[in-house]
Structure 1
């Protein structure tokens, strides 16, 4: 479809414009004082001079470069426009090189700004209109082509700028200086002299046609000729060109056109139909569907039939399941399988879902291959397995995926390993031990075997193992006699059934006493026992008294004088986080928690990103640029690397977040709230606030600089480069920071690897304390998905927080488990390419992320503990820190690797699992 036909149809009725040149003002020939208005009086100064031909001229000069925060304005006399629509301004000026002026601050500039103000009469005064952009209209920032130094003669620059169309009787010109050393030699305002002056005439597309890429328009030049046609029109979706591309007609019933463009309507794809004209999409027939990512011109498809020929191979408490593809894949190629495990009560026909201890390799949901290995089943137990076939439209069907089932009964098996052994008491020659039975006895336990040997024999044996002794016990406790006084022994226990011995417990070190005197031992421990009992009694009394006082206050209806502005203490030395939004004046919170930094102490070196990016690839480089030339972008502004030199302190590298120009008061409050939050924290694993700049522009938040940037991108760039101990060390630092925040009653709400920063020593620090407050306003980042009116990072958020907006330290623990998975998978995306809704459904159905490749079993178990559905059963951050410390001290525990490998190539679609 050509543009010419549509331009003809647009109905242009354009006036003829004739270019006539006329000079409205020329200061070059002024013989007396111009007497333009200057503000302030100490800024622009009118002086007399001579041009190149030694003709007298009037010029304006300004050079206050040794004073900060310059804002000098110069306004011309009123200029009648004489019915012209567009005015050109020819300016001749000189500018001095800032580097040639000694002993000046970093605020010197080499540019100035041109403005104009329209008026129907000469009404301007010394204070009206106000000296600021709006009411003045900015034309451009003027920069010289040549600058001069002190030893050179002034080099005259000539610049021409235009503005219009004008609508009032006349105008004023205004020149703004922000700290330059310059001279304005002459100003001339010709009109209509440029043949390239263009007037825009907009066009309109015919009915059912839309503009393509750019608005439809023609330009009239200064000579009155039409030129530069721009844009074109094409038929909208549901319409096709007709009448030799001069009209757009609707698609007939049974045909459709899904996009705007020059194409024609086409028949509906297979298994779809439309009964009306002008269709942009054909609806699927009953029982057929399109996936969310299927294009409108694709065929409608259906769900697959059940898998065929399911075969099971039982080996003690493990089973291998294999099956064949379904006869009908539903017309799609994205076929996946889900395996549902149910444990059945023998003889009752009642089955329930298997617990999380049952392990499936490679995974339970989203299988691409036709086999799965199931382990950790209970012995002598009936199980039922359903193998579902699903595809990209299974979640569209109101029915459960079609499945094939197989029933199996496991064989006898040896018991599982005995948990940790405990020392109940010891003398010089005996030790009393106890332990819990195996979690899975897999039958009746006949007895226990206790194996022990002296610890120092490990170093004495040159070859082979240390000489061990064994005893048996009928119950889960035993007394070992005949031991050496003051000797360290290594002890292990295992259980035996008719199927044989199970695994040994982990080795435990216990020592006998140097002397045996039970009476003396009790006497020595008596003060400790009495003291502990007394402390416990005092604690109970205190709790009761506090409860009674609180109850009386509640019943009396008196309001507590507590406010969140007050610094509170739960225990001596434990400060509580204060929400800055509880302050009537948000600036008060900033002043209380953040240190004000003078802008002269800050130097920006390079831009490193936008938003909360920190330390990533450089987006743009600057060489110690003046702050007032700084260009902002991103949600609040740019993030830069710079240097901070405070009086009496050495210069340090810092990260600088800036607030972009044109901000509202709410945006300023929201921007600085992160500093009000961050300023309350002081911990080696929390990003440190250096201070804020609020009394100059741009507004800034200055923090310590983290060389390696965000943790997720850092791990992806260094995939496989760290030892397990290094990774656990990173996790320990994050957990320590979160324990500190939890102790202060602060809930992060957005804990994720992208919000953890890493320095050059691989120390991880929690950051991004402003985003969680404003998730509702973020409509661009797909990480944050709507839930009950707000934006939530679904993949990292606990179920109760998604469903009920219940954010607590327990929900932060859930998020920490996801961070653990991100770290051990080197920055892989949680739940891979599953949609957010699929993630919600899978978690609700008790699906949990499998261990990443080469992930120690102990770490994955800690992840699973963080993902317990009942939030009160999740570990506290203090427990997580202690657990990681034990793993770091006992490196051998990190060598037990789970065989399952992570990864999923398709979304999980098990939405209808019973």
Structure 2
């Protein structure tokens, strides 16, 4: 890391692990050489490897033990390695054997045992001063030929480097040094069981200490749970109680679980080239091999390649390169993408493998998603996946968006084309390359093709305001895209027509085979008031329930509160879910339309109320259906879904919206 100054003061950014400051060039970092390591970025210099360990590679973050040496799992990386066993050759002399009850077990710990015994020759008697003891021990159940021995001149010994939760056999013999040493036999065997790690800790504590520790731990856990619940109540509830939507957003972003990291805006980091190493690993350009081009990105070429790191298998990766001749602004935007992606660690967010900033070509290396963008993947496999399989793609994406929103990150460009699919069909959020200004300008600069207006919330289109709630709106469109096999939202309507239709209250009808509970969740995401939309944590919970239990019980009371049944426990799909209304078939009359719904029994009711044309039917509301005397809740839902499809048809043909 280079140092950066301001008005005569210097603020140094520490070198990453495995690297140390270059004394010759201030502000530069060099990888540590073989035999040195650095485990923390807070240390300025690398340290030599501890005794009996080695580091063969440059920029090592730890040293491995030599053969026949090891560290305890509880030892720090700076601890020396010790032999994995003790083998001592000893000789013993004459002595009387002990009875088993004469050998005392003074202390038994997970990795050591302390024994003591009576002296075979009383102290002060002739020959007492020259008595030596040989202790032989081995794991019970193993051959006695695989034993270890240790000697001592005292009637006590502490044997170390034992295994926790293991039964050992110990034998002792005593002798005076001399030719008769090897003729003496060992006393009868005794067995000692070493405790497990957890059991040892509890034995060393007095009851009062144990009670105190347990009480304090319980209070801490209870306090943490209460804090999380309080935060959850603030962040995972619909803001309907008269609060302003902006106030709801402030509560949502400022009350966070303390352990959750907060997103750092790359544009506030000064020089991104320096800041990128805080969140991304610098890779050696020689470890990256480019094999073929996958296309052209905003800043350069996107390639398929392989990443080969020392001691690891070759990894397929996607390599984003910065084209030559880019402006400084484009270069900063390119690095900002790595700065953004490097802050995330979630199984459904594309993983950053590292960056290359020290070569002639800047590169961002991410995991390779072999199936590409989600919308294209769905179009290629249309008809091959059933509704339940399509719905199974959604909870993971909702989990990722929950994670991002809790970090305070607003995506601003969520769409199926910015979701990538891995070889094992895992969907991951991507598309972190544009800043807020880029996204706001894009909404207004294009109104055709893949216009951002198709995914943008009303407040974004009108005021350029982005928030987690606007991401929820976009996520509703992504859910529609998934269930429609990657079909373009709003079909061939122009961006301007979409903006007008959304403002007039038009919403996308359910795709073919889309369960009605899922479409109702989409409609909730498309509430005009941002404060009325669900939070991502709620969306994730509801989608998980839908996938696990696709047929929950119906709401018994048709007058029950909207969200008690509508969101907390969605109703099952209606028969209309199996009909292809997203293709907008043409009907010559209202009667033909009702027959297609298997609801021809209501022809006379529609005619008597004056609904003689399909355009008139497209303006009907739920209250209008009740006024016709249609008492069946299921029939009203079928009719409302059909009316939504008619509205879409009318908008396509006439280019005007219908208020809902």
Q: Smaller-chain TM-score range?
A: 0.3 to 0.5
* Structure with the largest fraction of helix: 2
- Per the normalisation by structure 1, the TM-score is 0.34
Larger radius of gyration: 1
- Per the normalisation by structure 2, the TM-score is 0.47
